[in-house]
A and B are shown apart, each in its own frame.
Chain A
Amino acid sequence: MTEPVRAADPVEALVARLLSLGTVVAIALLVIGSALLALRGGSPLDPGPPLDVSRIPSDLVAGRPDGFLWLGLIAAIVTPCARVAASLLGYLRRREQAMAAISILILAVIALTVALAGTTSA
């Protein structure tokens, strides 16, 4: 016998949709970027450019693989953080204070990660 299945939970439904959407967007960008890289004769083992967020829009417009690949990677990395933010909104709406507080703490740890990695890099 399989385990019982819970009834629908609106926060979980919202998070599920967000995760699926984030994955589709990230993979689509990575596929386009990888295809453009191959078409231009580049190899995955060639050293890629460092991340420069300000260059991404111009790379996308010019059809350069760098912009698509960086945007895809950022979309992939940010998707789990976005689902925590979405959970926070959902739990606040449902007045689940404990889960809302946990969501805020997770986002705080992520923010601390960015801050520490940024200050200790280079």
Chain B
Amino acid sequence: MVTDLVIIGGGVAAGLFGSLLGLGGGTLIVPLLTLGFGLPLREAVGVSLVCVIVTSSASAGIYLQRRVANLRLGMTLELFTATGALAGALVAFLLDERLIAGLFAVLLVYVAVSMLWRGREDAAAAALAEREAGQVGAGASEAVITASSPVVESDETTPWTSSGWSFIPALSGPGYTIHNLPIGIGGSILAGVISALLGIGGGTVKVPVMHLAMGVPLRVATATSNLMIGITASAGAIVYLLRDEIDPYLAGTVCVGVFVGAVAGARLQQRIGLRFLRMLFVVVLLYVGFQMARKALAI
């Protein structure tokens, strides 16, 4: 009974952290199941992929309703993430588990460093916003509110209804134009391979590629990545499912926990000081990365 509660609690914690910090739950589920419960890595990856699909579908539905995610761009890139995921899932069964554990350790350190970097950027942006607010004064607030979230009307001349030869402009959105599509395609294939190998969503690759290389605003990139994760993880999960590498008892229970945690995280996001949480999470990631590295090196 205690074990059951720990598993559910671990799922809730993974979903909560993932939701609060914009990470997929897979980053924590795989180490939890392998290091905490001694499960084989491939079984943990299979469970993680299903959890990633559930959280992706839940959040992508909301992002689309709010019209933040770019479905056309997401579908174009997910054609390549799905291809990468297929290759990754097939390769995963040929690789030594220690090599996969080593790759996971590298991923965890990369995510920890990225989070530290993002924290510094957020702090700098907040300081700048505070300074600007002080200079402009209270009178400007009304103008800011009026200018925020302008709705761009759709008509026959906008790229949203175009087709055929004007395909690439159709992927762009209001206020931004897509460029470097080949880099996006390459990044998507890589994200798909990593997702299926390690049981994660792959957002840690997709979001920087879309935002930095393709010119997609960060909020749209995050939402679109969330949408794409469903298909990427689905392609990988099908392979694990058909190879009997997904246990229904474990996957079902962990999924429920992750979903509850993700929903709670979405509601708590505005009330929690993310700076402390981020630092705590970085410490956890580095510790888990160290443990995964030990597993890889059989120390």
Q: Given the known A-B contacts A20-B61, A80-B53, are A109 and B86 also in contact in the complex, defined by CB atoms under 8 Å?
A: yes
Asked if residues A3 and B61 are in contact (CB atoms below 8 Å), the reply is no
Interface flags, B157-175, vs A, CB<8A=1, else 0: 0001111100100100111
A-B residue pairs in contact (CB < 8 Å), sample of 6? A2-B148, A5-B151, A26-B54, A44-B4, A44-B252, A110-B235
A interface bracket (residues with beta carbon within 8 Å of B): 35 or more
Give chain B's interface residues, CB within 8 Å of chain A. 3-4, 7-8, 37, 50, 53-54, 56-58, 60-62, 64-69, 71-72, 75-76, 78-79, 82-83, 85-86, 89-90, 144, 147-154, 160-164, 167, 170, 173-176, 217, 219-220, 230-231, 233-235, 237-239, 241-244, 246-256, 259
Task: Name the distance in Å between B245's Cβ and chain A's nearest Cβ.
Answer: 9
Q: Report the separation of the CA atoms of residues A63 and B75 in the bound assembly, to the nearest whole angstrom.
A: 38
Q: CB-CB < 8 A to A80: which residues of B?
A: 53, 56-57, 230-231, 233-234
Q: Is the CB of A12 within 8 A of B71?
A: yes
> Interface code A48-75, partner B: CB below 8 Å = 1, 0 otherwise?
1111000000000000011001101100
Assess whether B54 is in contact with A27, with CB atoms less than 8 Å apart.
yes
Instruction: Give min CB distance, A65 to chain B, whole Å.
Output: 8
1/0 per residue A17-58: CB within 8 Å of B? 111101100110011011001100011111111110000000
Nearest neighbor of A114 in chain B, beta-carbon distance: B238
Instruction: Report how far A11 CA is from B71 CA in the complex, Å.
Output: 9
Query: Contact between B61 and A30 (Cβ–Cβ < 8 Å)?
Result: no
Distance, CA A17 to CA B251, complexed state (A): 25
Q: Are B251 and A73 in contact (CB under 8 A)?
A: yes
Q: Are B79 and A8 in contact (CB under 8 A)?
A: no
Instruction: Decide if B71 touches A98 in the complex (CB within 8 Å).
Output: no
Contacts of B60 in A (CB 8 A): 16, 19
